[in-house]
């Protein structure tokens, strides 16, 4: 299974503590596309194992977050290399992001210890759209749906473009696999739909429908950030395309893939624009 079995006890412990505290929380990280695309559609996981988990939880203040961390330390978690990184067992990493009006200003969260600033755009949408997913037999968690995940990945990439190439890879993974979750009736809706004066192909359907769903989900401030990101991808040699190719280790014979990637982002943009036209 894609979520390594060693990760399940960490998730169960985290969920127990957060639920006892009556806190809202949602799983937002690397495992989400695997959970939602592979588990729900194929019935099982395959490949791309991960022991890294990203989650957001509500807090009342920084002091409240400190109390929460102390509670988690009592249940087996250890402090990692950053304030939000928690370790469990031998090699499970949980990045726990606090969220609440007392610590967020102008859609930005500044970490007290490091001064690093991160955008919180998309988090409100993540809470609002979360769905419960069974990630292990008899154990379910609130998880962001794929459209909210794509939104969060776009925001996270813009925070640190040089460090977040994996976010781009996750976006493409969703674009390419989301069509597997589309009902036949929704595929028929795309007959005759064009993006950049070309018909949307069957394998591009996921990217187009994700554009529609992200547009319907995103708040105005988040939409501005999405358009700012898409404005970066002006041609097949744009920085995000180059980063994805490097992530995929396509050093040679990559011209066809360049075109595919650029096309996917343009199709996504077309779906996004169709809602706001």
Report the chain (277 residues): mean pLDDT per 10 consecutive residues: 73 95 88 53 45 89 96 96 92 93 96 91 96 86 91 95 91 85 64 84 88 96 97 96 90 83 96 74
pTM exceeding the 0.85 threshold for the entire prediction: yes
- CA nearest neighbour of 100 among 166, 24, 169: 24
Q: Containing domain of residue 13, as a range?
A: 7-144
Same domain, 94 and 199: no
- The answer to whether position 151 is within a domain reads no
DSSP H helical ranges for the chain: 7-20, 32-33, 40-42, 62-74, 123-129, 146-159, 165-177, 184-189, 205-217, 220-230, 239-247, 255-276
Q: Considering its fold, how many domains does the chain have in total?
A: 2
Domain end marker among 144, 176, 192: 144
3-class state of residue 152 by DSSP:
helix
Torsion angles phi and psi, residue 145, rounded to 5: -70, 165
What per-residue confidence (pLDDT) applies to 46? 42
- CA nearest neighbour of 106 among 120, 125, 88, 92: 120
Non-local (6+) Cβ contacts of 217 within 8 A are: 125, 129, 147, 148, 151
Same domain, 190 and 261: yes
Distance (Å, whole) CA 11 – CA 135 = 9
What CATH number corresponds to the domain at position 67?
Answer: 3.30.460.40
Same domain, 122 and 233: no
Q: What spatial distance separates the first Cα and last Cα of the chain, rounded to whole Å?
A: 41
Same domain, 118 and 203: no
- The answer to whether position 56 is within a domain reads yes
Question: Residue 97: CA atoms inside 13 Å, Cβ hemisphere, count?
Answer: 26
What per-residue confidence (pLDDT) applies to 251? 64
Domain end marker among 144, 175, 197: 144
Structure tokens at 264: 């996917």
What per-residue confidence (pLDDT) applies to 136? 80
Q: What is the DSSP letter of 3?
A: B
User: Which residues is 54 bridged to in the sheet?
Assistant: 95
- The answer to whether position 2 is within a domain reads no
Non-local (6+) Cβ contacts of 195 within 8 A are: 204, 208, 266, 267, 269, 270, 271
């Amino acid at each position: 299974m894609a979520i390594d079995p060693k990760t399940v006890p960490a998730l169960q412990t985290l969920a127990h503590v957060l639920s006892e505290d009556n806190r809202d929380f949602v799983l937002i990280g690397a495992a989400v596309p695997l959970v939602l695309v592979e588990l729900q559609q194929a019935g099982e996981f395959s490949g791309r194992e991960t022991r890294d988990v990203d989650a957001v939880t509500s807090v009342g203040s920084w002091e409240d977050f400190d109390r929460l961390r102390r509670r988690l330390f009592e249940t087996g978690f250890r402090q990692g290399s950053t304030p939000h990184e928690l370790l469990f067992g031998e090699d499970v990493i949980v990045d726990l992001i606090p969220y609440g009006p007392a610590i967020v200003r102008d859609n930005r969260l500044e970490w007290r210890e490091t001064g690093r600033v991160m955008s919180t755009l998309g988090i409100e949408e993540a809470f609002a759209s979360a769905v419960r997913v069974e990630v292990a037999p008899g154990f379910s968690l609130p998880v962001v749906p794929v459209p909210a995940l794509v939104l969060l990945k776009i925001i996270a990439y813009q925070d640190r473009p040089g460090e977040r190439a994996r976010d781009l890879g996750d976006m493409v993974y969703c674009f390419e696999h989301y069509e597997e979750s589309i009902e036949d009736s929704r595929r028929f809706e795309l007959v005759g739909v064009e993006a950049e004066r070309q018909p949307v192909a069957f394998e591009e359907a996921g990217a187009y429908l994700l554009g529609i769903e992200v547009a319907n989900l995103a708040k105005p401030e988040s939409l501005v950030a999405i358009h700012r990101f898409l404005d970066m991808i002006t041609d097949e040699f744009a920085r995000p395309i180059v980063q994805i190719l490097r992530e995929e280790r396509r050093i040679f014979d990559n011209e066809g893939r360049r075109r595919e990637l650029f096309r996917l982002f343009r199709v996504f943009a077309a779906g996004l624009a169709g809602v706001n036209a």
